[in-house]
Amino acid sequence: MNFQHLRDAPLPATASAFLWRYVRVRPFHFSAMLSLVIGAACCAVAVQYGMKMLVDAMAGDAQTEQVWRAFSLFIALIVVENVLWRLGGWVGCHTVVGSCADLRVDLFHHLTGHPMRYFKRHFSGSLANRVAAAGGAADVVYGGLAWRIVPPCVDFLGAVVVLFAVRDSMALALIVCVLLVAALLTVVGVRGRNRHIAFASQSARVGGEIVDLVSNVWTIKAFSGRERERQRLEREIGVEARAHRRSWIYLEKARVLHDICLSIMAGAMLGWAILLWRQGEVTAGDVVMVSALTFRILHGSRDLALALVDTSQQMGVIAETLGIIAQPHELRDTPHELAPTRGSIKLLDVSYAYPDGCQVFKHFFLDIAPGQSVGIAGTSGSGKSTLLSLLQRLDDVQSGVILIDDRDIRSVSQDSLRRQIAVVPQEPALFNRSILENIGYGQPHATEQQIIDAARQAFCDEFVQALPNGYHTLVGERGVTLSGGQRQRLGLARAFLKDAPILILDEATSALDSDSEAIIQRALTNLMRGRTVLAVAHRLSTIASFDRVLVLERGEIVQDGPPDELRLRQGRFRTLWQMQAMLQER
């Protein structure tokens, strides 16, 4: 079986199919685990039969040798049972933990394949919590199946077989009672599923809220919002608590129903066995065995009932996670690679609208020659950032085509496309890792010396060397230990290292002070050399030396030409330039 093919297949939409997927990845491990658990459970039933033989040998006229033989069998069964349980636990440890790790990785990988608009609709913290919760839920389901569901089922089947050897009617009565109880609990479990899913959904939402609050703690403090946010969180947690109580109370009702049914069954079976003993139809050993088996089934079925209800709850958690994360990707990918490019860009008759229907581009045309530097100006909402997003295929056009070196970007894999594009955003995204790792993210196979060379080109080396651990210094969450200018230079170093033919600058200097901007402008001049550049500029002075400037208005190019010419010509660019000049004079 091609296990890698299973791992690469789309994620199933249902919880049961999703869990079965990882059983198919490790069929031998799961088979071994279940075989050992079933063997241990069979030995547990056989122990009760060994006890019957020992009691009968002691109560009858058997010789001492027969008593010790029965005793030896009884002890041997206990030893084998314990050995099989421990072996099952050892195999299960590797099997269940490995499968839960795999499924979390697969969920994350699928999650990152969604377009950026998907992440605008969902809390990042909520998504992260769902991935973690699905792993925990799968652990409960797999472990519950092996240690809380299979053993009681084996106990029941073993008890039926043994009771048939004592009295057929008792075995049949046990079958009928257990089937009725199982059917009743199944109906109860199914009816409670919506409560469990509602609790899982609200729990994920609260987790997302907490992450969002922690991420914005500066804003909370700056605007004296601690008490407001406490009240808001209290309301959200209150909703979660009510959903939790509804789910929990339902579980308790199911447990009460189970206890009543099983107590009646245990009492009836034991009373029946005592009556048969008084009539001389069964031995004392039979009564002991029936009593032991009945109480074993009583406790085992309680575990089974709890496990089934718990499994139903955890399956609800997985189903809710799959409903959010395992949706089909809205952008289709292809395995075809985009070869290294010269950097020509064409947009032919492109139309694009936001999911809410707001039209951004309609029959849009643009042609950028290889090696040309193009500034993009315009007011907020004119389509500047959307243009860059479509070029990176973070979303797809509704009609028309985007070509890089005359190749439709939808005909190549998204990763190969983005390997040809280096992006320097307004606020570079840094991981809570070392500076070396953050710069090297642009080229994962780069050597340490290559990373340091890129840092020097971006004028990072001086401030990095002054840090306590140099290039091995951790930058903190989102780079909080660094200044804005330092973070920006790390973003530039990452772009230098990537050495892509197309460079996108998304307001790369708009949030910087004058000193930092001057340093970064020097680095940008070196970085742009020999590349096709598209730069969204908040400060028009940063694109004054570009080959060409596009001025966008409501998704249309209203001006296109060299910046020196546009400054002298009546039009939107001249107006924007004069407004910024007036603001700087103030």
264 close to 184: Cβ distance less than 8 angstroms: no
**Domain ranges, residue 544:** 370-398+410-585
Residues contacting 87, CB < 8 A, separation 6+:
36
Same domain, residue pair 388 and 248: no
**Residue 38 within any structural domain of the chain:** yes
551 close to 562: Cβ distance less than 8 angstroms: no
pTM of the entire predicted model: 0.70
Q: What is the CATH number of the domain that holds 425?
A: 3.40.50.300
Structure confidence at residue 234 (pLDDT): 81
Structure confidence at residue 1 (pLDDT): 46
Same domain, residue pair 85 and 200: yes
| Residue 54 to residue 286: CA distance in whole angstroms | 11
| Residue 204 to residue 212: CA distance in whole angstroms | 12
CA distances (Å), 446 to each of 28, 214, 435, 438, in order?
39, 34, 14, 12
Same domain, residue pair 295 and 377: no
Number of domains in the chain: 2
**Residue 377 within any structural domain of the chain:** yes
SS3 402: strand
Structure confidence at residue 443 (pLDDT): 82
Q: What is the CATH number of the domain that holds 93?
A: 1.20.1560.10
Residues contacting 335, CB < 8 A, separation 6+:
413
Of the three residues 301, 325, 349, the one that is the final residue of a domain is 325
Encode 172-203: b = buried (16+ Cβ within 10 Å), e = exposed. Answer: ebbeebbeebbeebeebbeebbebbbbbbbbb
Q: In what order do the strands lie in the sheet with 556-561?
A: 421-424, 502-506, 532-536, 373-378, 548-553, 556-561
Same domain, residue pair 278 and 383: no
Of the three residues 272, 298, 325, the one that is the final residue of a domain is 325
List beta partners, residue 552.
378, 557
Same domain, residue pair 160 and 258: yes
| Residue 110 to residue 321: CA distance in whole angstroms | 12
| Residue 311 to residue 186: CA distance in whole angstroms | 11
Q: What is the dihedral of CA 363, 368, 374, 378, to 10 degrees?
A: 0
Report residue 254 as tokens: 């199911």
Closest CA to 341 of 407, 413, 423, 425: 407
300 close to 152: Cβ distance less than 8 angstroms: yes
Structure confidence at residue 401 (pLDDT): 92
Residues contacting 109, CB < 8 A, separation 6+:
none
360 close to 380: Cβ distance less than 8 angstroms: no
**Residue 253 within any structural domain of the chain:** yes
95 close to 30: Cβ distance less than 8 angstroms: yes
| Residue 89 to residue 103: CA distance in whole angstroms | 21
Same domain, residue pair 321 and 444: no
**Residue 343 within any structural domain of the chain:** no
**Residue 359 within any structural domain of the chain:** no
| Residue 47 to residue 123: CA distance in whole angstroms | 54
Phi-psi label, residue 507: left if phi above 0, alpha if psi -120 to 50, beta otherwise:
left
Report residue 415 as tokens: 């990763």
Q: Strand 345-353 relative to strand 502-506: parallel, antiparallel, unpaired?
A: unpaired
Phi-psi label, residue 412: left if phi above 0, alpha if psi -120 to 50, beta otherwise:
beta
Same domain, residue pair 318 and 386: no
Same domain, residue pair 152 and 219: yes
544-566 pLDDT tens trace: 788 888 888 888 888 888 888 88
| Residue 567 to residue 570: CA distance in whole angstroms | 8
| Residue 477 to residue 486: CA distance in whole angstroms | 15
Same domain, residue pair 188 and 320: yes
Same domain, residue pair 237 and 141: yes
Same domain, residue pair 286 and 384: no
Report residue 178 as tokens: 């257990």
Structure confidence at residue 172 (pLDDT): 80
Same domain, residue pair 253 and 394: no
Encode 345-373: b = buried (16+ Cβ within 10 Å), e = exposed. Answer: bbbeebebeeeeeeebbbebebebeebbb
**Residue 12 within any structural domain of the chain:** yes
55-97 pLDDT tens trace: 766 765 556 677 777 778 778 888 888 898 889 889 888 888 8
117 close to 6: Cβ distance less than 8 angstroms: no
List beta partners, residue 550.
376, 560
Structure confidence at residue 259 (pLDDT): 74
- CB atoms inside a 10 Å sphere around CB 71: 15
| Residue 300 to residue 290: CA distance in whole angstroms | 15
Per-residue pLDDT of the chain (586 residues; tens, 9 = 90+): 445 555 567 788 888 889 898 888 888 999 899 889 888 888 887 777 777 777 766 765 556 677 777 778 778 888 888 898 889 889 888 888 888 888 888 888 888 888 877 887 777 777 887 888 888 888 888 888 888 888 888 877 877 777 777 777 777 877 777 777 777 766 766 666 677 667 777 777 777 777 677 767 766 766 667 777 788 778 888 887 888 787 777 777 777 777 777 777 777 777 777 777 777 777 777 777 777 777 777 667 666 767 777 787 788 788 888 888 888 887 788 888 888 788 889 999 999 988 777 888 888 999 989 988 888 888 888 888 889 888 988 888 888 999 998 888 888 888 888 888 888 887 777 887 888 888 888 787 888 888 888 888 888 888 888 888 888 888 777 667 777 778 888 888 888 888 888 888 887 665 555 566 677 777 777 778 888 988 887 777 778 788 888 888 888 888 888 888 888 888 787 887 777 666 555 5
Q: Strand 399-404 relative to strand 502-506: parallel, antiparallel, unpaired?
A: unpaired
Closest CA to 504 of 526, 485, 532, 542: 532
**Residue 249 within any structural domain of the chain:** yes
Task: Please tell me the number of Cα atoms within 13 Å of 411 on its side-chain side.
Answer: 9
Of the three residues 268, 292, 325, the one that is the final residue of a domain is 325
Structure confidence at residue 238 (pLDDT): 81
**Residue 363 within any structural domain of the chain:** no
